Amino acid sequence: MSRTSASAATVEKDAEPQGSMSIEGVILDIDYAAINGKVVIRVTVKGLDGKTYDLMDDDFKPYFYFVPSGEADSDSILKMSTNDMGRKITPVKVEEDEKSFFGRPTKLFRVYMETPSDIPKFSSYMMRYGKCYEYDIPFSRRYGIDKDVTPLHVYRFSASKTPDYIKLNGMSFLNEIGELNLNTLWFDIEVYNPLEVPRENVDPIIMLSYKYVSGGKEGEGVITFKKIDRPFVEVVKDETALINRFVEIVNQHDIDVISGYNSANFDIRYMIARAKALGIDFNLSRGYGDTRIERHGLVDKVKIGGRVHVDMYLVIKFVSVVGAAEHLLKLNSYTLKNVYEAISDDKKISVEKKSIWKLWDGSIEDLELLAEYNLNDSYALMKVYNTFMPIMIELSRTTGNVLSDVSVSTTGQLVEYLLMRYARRYNEVIPNKPSEYEIEDRLKNPIIGAYVKTPDPGIYEHLAIFDFRGLYPSIIISHNIDPSTLCTDCKDYFESPTGARFDKNRKGISPMILELLINQRKEVKKAYKKDPNNIFLGSRSQALKITANSFYGYLGYARSRWYSRDCASSVTAWGRQYIAKTIEEAEKAGLKVIYGDTDSIVVLLGNKTDEEALAFMRAFNASLPGAMELELEDFFVRAVFVGKKHEKDPAGAKKKYAMLSTSGRIKIRGFELVRRDWSRIARDTQRNVLEAILKEGSAEKAANIVKEVVQRLRSGTVPLGELAISTQLRKSIDKYDSKSPELSAAKKAVEAGVKSKDEVEHAVISYVITSHGGSVSDKAELEEMAKDYDADYYINSQVMPAVMKILKELNYNEDELKNLGKQKKL
């Protein structure tokens, strides 16, 4: 290492090193740039020497595969061309190749194009002459697949200096490491918001806080342009200077990872918009590239050239969905405050978002509070990052996705990339993404889940939930379940309870990868036991589990390249047999199973102790094959189950329950109304009803709460603030074809001169349904304009839908709750 890092360390930015270089480091990111009209892959490497390198591979060309339906040879394909806005698009090279396609040997042509963007254009033209494959794989991912490289593990890179850039000539795997010393910065902006929703072209960024670690040093600060007498505050001239100063700090500390909270959707987006409005450049990139926002499926992804952006809000949602964050189990809303307070003993400094602009316009004390709040947000973010990022890092290493992709991906996308890498390694054609038509078709025919036992709706006490998540991976492995092993005429096969057959003599890619993941996890767990403070081992174990557990979902995910109904339904069918066994064993141990489905059971402990329940779990686990493991999710004091199995949604039952854990927190699933487009009275009443049931165990008390609310509503005395419903208009009011209450309220406000058109554009409309008018929209008025309210609307369309989800299954009917409310009044 001394030789290589010594030579790497001599490479200064301004120096002109001669000849070849050898660099040891980890891959932070892979993207591409056009340099002198040439498409070049950039591998951003963090050297073990602490420096960062842009290594450019200019020898990698975009390509796709073509299987002609008739006769064709390389020369004839090379001569083909199509037009794109007057530009001729034609291959630059064509090679013959042979690959396996779902187990069948297939001859195909590899068609190279000049630029990545020509691939979709030319392949869609070629589809009229045959079948095309691998035309929908983003160029930088293609590179990662073909080079078979894993980010964040140590490689030795050989490179050489050219006049334009450092050229990457090759890389070889060296070793795995745990902790990465990445220069990391956490930040948060505050924005002037007199209309509540800040307007990008008008409302300035007034403060920006940051914390960083870089090269072992730490720092923090708040940048603003009003004088605030606090040691951490740096006062600059104006908003432009604030933005520029931030870019300067990022450069000065050579930041590798920039992290925010909801920063893709807000902070970075807002900074880009403000820079545009101010007419200044805003670019956080290092080396090539700009700072922009790309759509990445469900979420927006921030792309910063040469650096990694991580939006912790997306990370939090990810780890919550996959169940990798016990701290967050009971959260219904993932605000930074909620998340921070769930992982720490501190409270976060809290400020009402609506009044941030007032603090800015207020007293010296107000300004100081705002600055402290701003800095505290970056601090809280850093804590949240340090708690949850190790899992993301290990997921990157496990699946091969670059770090900036992990947190914006679903588990299905992570698994898909892993499968694509293995497909390439085993010379398998990567199947195409399904068409929208196919997706629709798949969605219409959902895979039958392994539904076992529906709960009788009601209130239960003293329970435990056990989670059985290793079940499906081990079923896939032990029966060699894979789209490529499905067979009708093979001799040796596993036959699933659905009748599907899986060839025993040809190993499928999914079972093979799963086996590797599970064996790795065994090793990691062993090492972790010896070194329990090593969070990287703990996180790696989690990452391996998350990845393994995602394979089944991927088989049945409608957008999957390797979707297979037969495979997915075979997995669940076999799963039913195992869960039945689990239930049987639990009951033998004296635990009543009130509910169970594909991968979890809820047991009534009765007079058994928690320790006895754990003893059952351990004994049962000992009887299972290695990969399978029943785990405890939590113990609960009380629970209300109201979910009901539905013909159309057999899994629906598991989604509707509320539980009070032994630690006193409430976990609500399936009927949350923690949304601003429900009135506070509906949200509060639902919450009060659940709390009455969970904390006092009484459905009657809950019903009385509803009756009182109905009575209060009828009496006309409920303050309008409790009745306001907030919905944001996403476009200007003239651009809607449809009618809706929020739109109607906004239009009336404009007509009455209460609001200008500008003020309601993209604004959150807070409205009340009044008693005047026909349809709901006719009755909608801005909260500040409303004089009364429509009690029937709030009873029938707000409170009742919210509470009946719970009380209906506890044998209360709507009329009873409403009529009794009336009687009481009489």
Partner DNA sequence: GATAGCCGGGG
Partner DNA sequence: GTGTACGGCTATC
Is residue 738 within the footprint of DNA (CB under 7 A)? yes
Applying CB under 7 A, among 17, 220, 736, 758 the residue interacting with DNA is: 736
Residue number, 600 or 727, with CB nearest to DNA: 727
The SS3 call for residue 58 is coil
- What is the CB neighbour count within 10 angstroms for residue 76? 13
C-alpha–C-alpha distance, residues 304 and 35, integer Å: 17
CB of 816 to DNA, least distance (A): 20
Distances from the Cα of 537 to the Cαs of 411, 524, 531, 759, in angstroms? 20, 6, 8, 52
C-alpha–C-alpha distance, residues 191 and 204, integer Å: 6
Q: Which stretch binds DNA (CB under 7 A): 94-102, 327-335, 465-473, 511-519?
A: 327-335
Residue number, 110 or 501, with CB nearest to DNA: 110
Residue 780 backbone phi and psi in degrees, to 5: -75, 130
Applying CB under 7 A, among 6, 34, 127, 298 the residue interacting with DNA is: 298
* Selection from 346, 349, 342 nearest residue 387 by Cα: 342
From residue 27 to residue 66, the character string flagging contacts with DNA as x (rule: CB under 7 A) and all else as - is: -----------------------------------xxx--
Contacts of 620 by beta carbon, 8 Å cutoff, 6+ apart:
582, 585, 586, 589, 630
DSSP 647: S
CB of 386 to DNA, least distance (A): 18
Runs of H (alpha helix) within 63-165? 74-78, 118-126, 139-147
- The total number of residues written for the chain in this structure: 826
Footprint on residues 754-773 left by DNA (CB under 7 A): 764
- What is the CB neighbour count within 10 angstroms for residue 590? 14
From residue 374 to residue 403, the character string flagging contacts with DNA as x (rule: CB under 7 A) and all else as - is: ---x--------------------------
Is residue 616 within the footprint of DNA (CB under 7 A)? no
Distances from the Cα of 69 to the Cαs of 81, 101, 126, in angstroms? 18, 16, 11
Footprint on residues 515-534 left by DNA (CB under 7 A): none
Footprint on residues 104-123 left by DNA (CB under 7 A): 116-117, 119-120
The continuous run of DSSP H or E covering 560 comes out as none
Cα 493 versus chain centre, distance: 38
CB of 195 to DNA, least distance (A): 8
Q: Which stretch binds DNA (CB under 7 A): 42-50, 91-99, 257-265, 529-537?
A: 257-265
Is residue 724 within the footprint of DNA (CB under 7 A)? no
Three state DSSP letters for 105-123: EEEEEEEECCCCCHHHHHH
Contacts of 114 by beta carbon, 8 Å cutoff, 6+ apart:
39, 61, 62, 92
Q: 219 has which bridge partners?
A: 212
DSSP 225: S
Cβ-contact 154, 176 below 8 angstroms: yes
Contacts of 122 by beta carbon, 8 Å cutoff, 6+ apart:
64, 82, 89, 90, 91, 111, 113
CB of 154 to DNA, least distance (A): 27
52-57 and 166-175: which strand pairing? parallel
Tokens of 586: 């639990």
Is residue 261 within the footprint of DNA (CB under 7 A)? yes
Is residue 315 within the footprint of DNA (CB under 7 A)? no
Residue number, 297 or 362, with CB nearest to DNA: 297
Q: Which stretch binds DNA (CB under 7 A): 232-240, 328-336, 562-570, 781-789?
A: 328-336
Is residue 741 within the footprint of DNA (CB under 7 A)? yes
Residue number, 172 or 738, with CB nearest to DNA: 738
CB of 339 to DNA, least distance (A): 8
Is residue 489 within the footprint of DNA (CB under 7 A)? no
Is residue 727 within the footprint of DNA (CB under 7 A)? yes
Is residue 321 within the footprint of DNA (CB under 7 A)? no
Footprint on residues 187-226 left by DNA (CB under 7 A): 188-191, 193, 196-198
Q: Which stretch binds DNA (CB under 7 A): 88-96, 389-397, 586-594, 733-741?
A: 733-741
Q: 467 has which bridge partners?
A: 600, 631
Footprint on residues 334-353 left by DNA (CB under 7 A): 334-337, 353
Applying CB under 7 A, among 38, 675, 822, 824 the residue interacting with DNA is: 675
C-alpha–C-alpha distance, residues 490 and 71, integer Å: 32
Applying CB under 7 A, among 38, 347, 588, 731 the residue interacting with DNA is: 731
CB of 204 to DNA, least distance (A): 11
Applying CB under 7 A, among 53, 66, 139, 616 the residue interacting with DNA is: 139
Q: Which stretch binds DNA (CB under 7 A): 137-145, 322-330, 450-458, 632-640?
A: 137-145
Is residue 677 within the footprint of DNA (CB under 7 A)? yes
Residue number, 150 or 726, with CB nearest to DNA: 726
Residue where the block lists tokens 């790309």? 294
Q: Which stretch binds DNA (CB under 7 A): 70-78, 297-305, 465-473, 784-792?
A: 297-305
CB of 313 to DNA, least distance (A): 5
Residue number, 562 or 671, with CB nearest to DNA: 671
Cβ-contact 386, 313 below 8 angstroms: no
Cβ-contact 29, 44 below 8 angstroms: yes
From residue 545 to residue 584, the character string flagging contacts with DNA as x (rule: CB under 7 A) and all else as - is: --------------x-------------------------
CB of 617 to DNA, least distance (A): 29
Applying CB under 7 A, among 14, 647, 737, 815 the residue interacting with DNA is: 737
Residue number, 476 or 729, with CB nearest to DNA: 729
Q: Using alpha carbons only, how large is the chain's radius of gyration in Å?
A: 30
- What is the CB neighbour count within 10 angstroms for residue 612? 14
* Selection from 668, 670, 663 nearest residue 649 by Cα: 670
Tokens of 182: 């990445």
CB of 508 to DNA, least distance (A): 25
Cβ-contact 765, 728 below 8 angstroms: yes
From residue 415 to residue 444, the character string flagging contacts with DNA as x (rule: CB under 7 A) and all else as - is: ------------------x-----------
Residue number, 50 or 434, with CB nearest to DNA: 434
Applying CB under 7 A, among 180, 776, 785, 820 the residue interacting with DNA is: 776
Is residue 777 within the footprint of DNA (CB under 7 A)? yes
The SS3 call for residue 460 is strand
CB of 68 to DNA, least distance (A): 18
C-alpha–C-alpha distance, residues 572 and 650, integer Å: 13
Q: Buried b / exposed e across 91-115, counting CB within 10 Å, b at 16+?
A: beebeeeebebeeeebebbbbbbbb
Total of chain residues touching DNA, rule CB under 7 A: 74
Cα 240 versus chain centre, distance: 33
87-89 and 82-84: which strand pairing? antiparallel
From residue 651 to residue 670, the character string flagging contacts with DNA as x (rule: CB under 7 A) and all else as - is: ----x---------------
Q: Which stretch binds DNA (CB under 7 A): 90-98, 183-191, 457-465, 746-754?
A: 183-191
* Selection from 596, 306, 559, 585 nearest residue 451 by Cα: 596
Residue number, 433 or 592, with CB nearest to DNA: 433
C-alpha–C-alpha distance, residues 171 and 173, integer Å: 7
CB of 541 to DNA, least distance (A): 27
From residue 62 to residue 91, the character string flagging contacts with DNA as x (rule: CB under 7 A) and all else as - is: xxx---------------------------
CB of 92 to DNA, least distance (A): 12
C-alpha–C-alpha distance, residues 480 and 103, integer Å: 14
CB of 811 to DNA, least distance (A): 20
